[in-house]
Amino acid sequence: MTAPAARFAAHAALAALLCAGAPAFAASHVFLVQNSGWMEPFYTDPASQYKPLVTELVMAATQPGDLMVLASFNQGLPGAPSPKAMLSLKVNADPVSVRTQVGSALAGLQTANKPASAALADTDLGEAVNAAIHQALAGKPGLVWLFTNNRNSPNNDQATAQRNREFYALIHQGGTISRALAFPLKMPVQGAHYRANGLMVYVFAVGDGGARELDRLLASGRVQRVITEPPARLKPLDRDTVRLVPRRVDAAPGVSFSMGPGGMLRADVEQSARTPAAKIGWNLENTMYPYTIVSARIEARSNLAGQNLPIALASDTIKALAPGQSVPLQSRMQLPVAQLPGKWSAKAIGSAGSAYVLPGRIELQLLEQRLELSQAFRQRMAALFPGDPLPEIFTPPARIYGSTALLPIEVRVHYGIGPLVTLIGVGLAAAAALGGAVLAYGRPRRAWLTVEDELRTVHTRAGLTQAIFDKGGNKVAQLKTTMFGHRLIDLREGAQVRLGR
């Protein structure tokens, strides 16, 4: 069997295992466990925590209903396909059962040899990840986990720096990987041939669905209970790189600021405020571990009620901002007065006694951005992977020239109940007048007529017209009654008829 054929067979096996009995898509996980020659001490050292770590991370990352594949990998050769699926299952609600199956699959895993040779197998990280993405997940959303000592050396290639760059290019330039994190872990092990100080765990989110799943997983804290080290961000490097935290607010009269749920900035504005603005002191924090923002130019804008306004900054540059560190940033923000509803508007009346809410956001852009690995991360990598050129390939791609951070903001305009009370009063008065008119219109009325010197009393109502007859029974006129009185119409010529006595 040729090398491509061996790879195809392995990939087909992965795909078949993942898809067998698959329900409507939930979340899929592919766990790739390296067992090439470089991993020998992780398998032979009696104190090695390699397999227990894999088991615990599988248990933490998956939930009932998830599909998962557990596969070993090294480098695919004729007669020795890689990756090689060891377990495929739909996670059930019995954690004991899942743990037992994962433990049993890992128990017999040892370092692999090349076909028909005593030589230990080489490593191809890119081959394993590509197989997981394109064959096992078949391009569908999911998470790919990679456990490795981070030595990428297919065909025993000693140019590990170049091979690692190729692997890094796969992460950054591959459109299917939407998010990537790396967890560098201390794990000293000693084998018969090699020793190692550390292990790298990667997680790659495939597609937007995979990114959302990874966000939910990290927010749950389940992974952090297994891996306490902070993850190093590999992708994306152009958004959510900094965080704005309000430190102090000097508001104008009639304006107050507070922090709402989820980090939302909330501005409460009284209807009487004519120039609602505020001087806001922020802490600008670098959230892009392990990168230091060497330098960047800053621009900020607010987008509220369809109005895009610049935010004036006291300083428009930052320098040497290490991951996890923050710098003060002063700003002045104007709220959109012209877009606030007037107190007699329908929106204001409908919000009387509560608040009319205008949602929006603050957008912060870092331009002409220069990033580099923090010294602390370089030192940590040098201790965990001595002699490994890994930190070099963590250098951000040149195309990452800027980034954007968004902060949700909510402007709440408070309207008094005065206009509403006035409108209610006017409405009640109008209703009373209308009711009075209706009563007046409908009440019985009396009219006095003199017909041929005979005084008559006629009972009528507003809106009625009644015929008037003389003593001989001839129609001589009509009496029309309105809300304002009576009058005679259609008088016959010579008729002796008049209103009154």
Q: What is the pLDDT of residues 157-196, one digit of tens each?
A: 666 667 777 788 888 877 789 999 999 999 999 988 888 9
- List strands edge to edge, sheet with 67-73: 84-90, 67-73, 28-34, 142-148, 195-206, 177-190, 232-235
Report the C-alpha gap between 415 and 37 in whole angstroms: 72
Do 228 and 250 lie in one domain? The reply is no
Average pLDDT over the chain reads 79
What CATH number is attached to the domain comprising 105? 3.40.50
- Domain containing 24: what range? 3-235
Rounded (5°) CA angle 153-142-32: 30
Residues 8 and 156 in one domain: yes
Cβ-Cβ contacts under 8 Å for 259 (sequence gap 6 or more):
246, 265, 266
**Using alpha carbons only, what angle is made at residue 20 by residues 16 and 21, rounded to the nearest 5 degrees?**
170
Domain count, the chain: 3
Q: 8 and 67 share a domain?
A: yes
Residue 380: count of CB within 10 angstroms of its CB: 18
Asked if residue 431 belongs to a domain, the reply is no
pTM: 0.72
Last residue of a domain, one of 183, 200, 235: 235
Q: Same domain, yes or no, for 263 and 386?
A: yes
Q: Please check whether residues 325 and 284 belong to one and the same domain.
A: yes
Q: Is the pLDDT of residue 25 over 50?
A: no
Contact 47, 157 (CB under 8 A): no
Q: Are residues 162 and 29 in the same domain?
A: yes
Q: What is the pLDDT of residues 468-493, one digit of tens each?
A: 887 777 887 887 888 777 788 887 87
Among the residue ranges 252-256, 357-361, 414-418, the one predicted with the least confidence is: 414-418
- pLDDT surpassing 60 at residue 455: yes
209 plus 325 within the same structural domain: no
Question: Could you tell me which residue, 251 or 84, shows the higher pLDDT?
Answer: 84
Q: How far is CA 292 from the centre of its chain?
A: 25
Asked whether residue 428 is domain-assigned, the answer is no
Per the CB < 8 A criterion, the answer to whether 6 and 127 are in contact is: no
Please write the tens of the pLDDT for every residue from 294-336.
898 999 888 876 778 888 888 889 899 999 899 998 888 776 6
Q: Give the model's pLDDT for residue 265.
A: 75
Q: Which residues contact 75 (CB under 8 A, 6 or more apart)?
A: 36, 82, 121, 122, 123, 124, 127, 154, 155
* Structure tokens belonging to residue 436: 């009075």
**Any domain includes 437:** no
Distance CA 80, CA 36 (A): 12
Determine, yes or no, domain membership for 459: yes
Task: Tell me the CA distances in angstroms from 342 to 188, 350, 354, 411, 441, one per residue in order.
Answer: 69, 12, 15, 15, 39
